[in-house]
Amino acid sequence: MILGIETSCDETAAALIDASGELRSNVIASQRVHELYGGVVPEIASREHVKKLVPVIDQALADAGASLDHVSGIAVTSGPGLVGSLLVGLTTAKAMAAAR
């Protein structure tokens, strides 16, 4: 399976696609905190991704009935987007790949 990670702005998302291209799970966590400011605050967005990304990935794996052992590749948004938010996704993806 391929794990997809999306953290380009104010939503944290993870999805799993199997070898046949079928979407097995798709989990999205929105950041409601930005409503207080009338728009996305980049620093807050980055910090929210740090808090939410691993639980979102865990939920996507659970929804797909899979574990990290089933993941053969990781795809991650590299742009466009908020630099800090993108770095959270990229760093997480690289760390997961390196740990394997």
Domains delineated in the chain: 2-99 (3.30.420.40)
- CA 84, 8, 57, 100 dihedral sign is negative
CB 56 within 8 A of CB 50: no
Calpha distance 65→94 (Å, rounded)? 23
Residue 32: predicted pLDDT: 87
Instruction: Kindly state the DSSP code that residue 33 receives in the 8-state scheme.
Output: G
Q: Is the pLDDT of residue 100 over 90?
A: no
- On the question of pLDDT at 78 being above 90, the answer is yes
58-68 tens-digit pLDDT: 999 999 999 99
pTM, 2 dp: 0.94
> How big is the chain by its Cα radius of gyration, in Å?
13
